[in-house]
Amino acid sequence: MCPPDAATRNPGTRHREFTSQGWLFVGNETQHPIGIFDSGVGGLTVTRAVMELLPHERIVYFGDTARVPYGVKSPGTISRYASEIVRFLLEKDVKLLIVACNTMAAVALPAITALSPVPVLEVIDAGAKSALAATRTGRIGIIATPSTVHSGAYPAAIARRGGDAALTVSRACPLFVPLAEEGFLDHPATRLIAREYLAPVLAENPDTLILGCTHYPLLRPLLQDVAGPGVTLVDSATAVAADAARVLAETGLLTAPDEARPAHAFFVTDAPDRLRGIGELFLGRPLPDVHLVSLGC
């Protein structure tokens, strides 16, 4: 989806123009949707959290299922893919963007914010902020995918938010994603793997544990059981949904309550039936139609 060569007009709402600085908008945006995007299906946990906290808001979700996983790709490629997704969502007149992918948040955020004239939120900063608010001892554990752990994005975000004195310990948990997608949420094998993954983290006595992947909230009850009652689990999906509510309120962009249920839209670049099949697991509700699209100029 390439930017248009000329201005596009949306009668009755606003004028939209693509310039060298990105998109420029003028007009009332309260009725426009929130754009949420991920490299695949994990961002549906963020979508669920936003739906629960902001039930009157419309959502446009984008999963780049044809090019997942992003974690093995170069930063330049990830930034290019992210930019294509952002342009697509801006074509849908979104009023807020949520980067529901830890890899894109860690690698491509400058490219995303450079393109977007609307507020951009992402899961890493939201998770770091919530962890600092929750910790009593300054000892914070982080579990995430290998690419996110290797990026060091969560410790950097914690330090950037004033947590320089915090002790962080990170652990890559690559098997949690396929286990969550298979629905093995309380399977003995999942519990065994969780104990192995969390053992070196818990050995550092954290009082807070960041679930640094959008798939991990599905495993939250099991992970809480393994971590123990003395450890507070921080869900980035819940945290970024709270940030979305705050930003929309501060900017006057909250949708007014309506008795009608908002119509959401879901887009993928491959295998729409797969998203439809596991959507209920992630969203806690049946998934409406999923649209197949192509990206790239």
Catalytic positions are 101, 213
Q: Is the dihedral of CA 83, 88, 93, 95 positive or negative?
A: negative
Collapse the DSSP code of 15 into the 3-class scheme (helix H, G, I; strand E, B; otherwise coil) and give the result: strand
Q: Specify whether the backbone of 141 is left (phi greater than 0), alpha (psi in -120 to 50) or beta.
A: beta
Q: At 224, which helix (H) or strand (E)? A: helix 220-227
Distances (CA, A) of 79 to 83, 209, 250, 263, 276: 6, 28, 29, 30, 27
Please confirm whether the linkage preceding 69 is cis (ω < 30° from 0). yes
Q: How would you classify the pairing of strands 8-10 and 14-19?
A: antiparallel
Contact 25, 117 (CB under 8 A): yes
Neighbour count for residue 55 (Cβ, 10 Å): 12
Neighbour count for residue 254 (Cβ, 10 Å): 17
Neighbour count for residue 76 (Cβ, 10 Å): 11
